[in-house]
Amino acid sequence: MLPLLGLPPIVLGVIGMILGFYELAKNHYPYRKPHHTIVRITVGLDSKDGLSGAGGDLPDIQIFNEVGGYIGKASKRGKIKSGEFVDIPIKHNHHSSQQPAYALFAANGNAICIPHVTTTWPDGSQYAWLGDWGRRCGGMWYYSNIYLLPSGIKPNCLWIDENTERFRTGFQLHWPEFSHDDGDEALDTAEAKAAKVDYLCTAGPPFTMHTYPNSHTNQIAFWEPEGKGVNGSRVENGHRAIGSATGMLKRPASVRSESGEGNSGADELTTEALVGMSLVVSDAEEHSAEELCGSPDSFGPDFFNARTGTFCRMSEKTIWPACSSANSTDNCFHDTLHQLVVDGIVARDEPYAKIIDWTAGK
């Protein structure tokens, strides 16, 4: 169900395995423009100095209507810095005001980590998607310090990159399925919430992430109209058929990568090198060092939670106590010197080039 104009919908998000309902303040959404869809991309993990490697090239975006009809695109929009957002206007073909129910994002150049995306349609409808879905559905992720009002949540971010096997190369969204309205089915039991999460991750049209090499980065999967099959025949028993639609970019991202356009292998190494030079320090309760280290899909700088006194060494996914809380000077993380000491030897050849401080008041 579409939201009432002027009232942003309740956004579906996930914290861990649990489905949640969140309201986003109006200032998290982009402006409205006739015959245009505006998409706001927020990147990286906010701090005074930003997250090394979280900022990069803005993705290409293509939009489609509810039945897969192509509406418009925005490409080669330049770069975005860590912790910032950019509003991207997409002009509709033929000055239409169709509702762009589907959006397709294809990575460009250096990897970016996306905590949330919002959109405003020509009719004023507004939708949002949180990066926690990327994590929950199997994408590479990291914590963010992007604060969403009025809920106060800090969504995880999803890494995307143009030509690497580590990150996803892009993703598609069916915006309305990530909102919840009073007229929608009740999600008031643990079973119903778990089923909804599984559906959004696996059904296809609601949310699909692409991997490299993937020639379908230029295509979306969409729901055929109720009761119709892809060949026009009727579909019985309430099942919905899935159709596919192709965008208008000249070549998919994977083809650009194979031909040498976009970023190179050196860019990927640069991103990883920059991340390896940084340390994130947080005191947020939801930023668990154990959870970060325990995930095979997490990627980002080393991480220290000052509240719990735990350090995650991301290169090896190992947990270490803070020396101050362990009353020790060995086999622990010196939280004042920002150095891990193992068997009396400093683990890093050089100090961190950047300390990204997310603690309260910073």
Q: Which of 227, 258, 289 is the last residue of a domain?
A: 258
116 shares a domain with 37: yes
Residue 273 included in any domain:
no
108 shares a domain with 142: yes
Residue 181 included in any domain:
yes
What's residue 266's pLDDT? 39
Residue range 227-252: average pLDDT?
A: 68
Residue 1 included in any domain:
no
233 shares a domain with 330: no
What's residue 162's pLDDT? 86
69 shares a domain with 203: yes
30 shares a domain with 99: yes
What's residue 272's pLDDT? 63
230 shares a domain with 304: no
Residue range 176-201: average pLDDT?
A: 91
Whether the pLDDT of residue 246 is over 50: the answer is yes
pTM for this prediction: 0.89
Residue 268 included in any domain:
no
Q: Which of 229, 258, 287 is the last residue of a domain?
A: 258
Q: Which residue has the higher pLDDT, 241 or 53?
A: 241
Per-residue pLDDT reduced to its tens digit, 249-302: 865 444 454 444 544 443 444 556 678 889 999 999 999 999 999 999 999 999
What's residue 173's pLDDT? 98
Whether the pLDDT of residue 30 is over 80: the answer is yes
Instruction: List, as one string, the DSSP characters of 36-51.
Output: EEEEEEE-S--SSS--
Per-residue pLDDT reduced to its tens digit, 160-186: 988 778 899 999 999 999 999 878 888
181 shares a domain with 209: yes
CA distances from 129 to 65, 139, 234 (A): 18, 15, 32
The residue segments making up the domain with residue 313 are 278-357
| Residue 259, number of CB atoms within 10 A of its CB | 9
CA separation for the pair 102, 130 (Å, rounded): 16
Euclidean distance between the first and the last CA atom of the chain, given in angstroms as a whole number? 40
How many structural domains are present in the chain? 2
Residue range 79-105: average pLDDT?
A: 95
150 shares a domain with 299: no
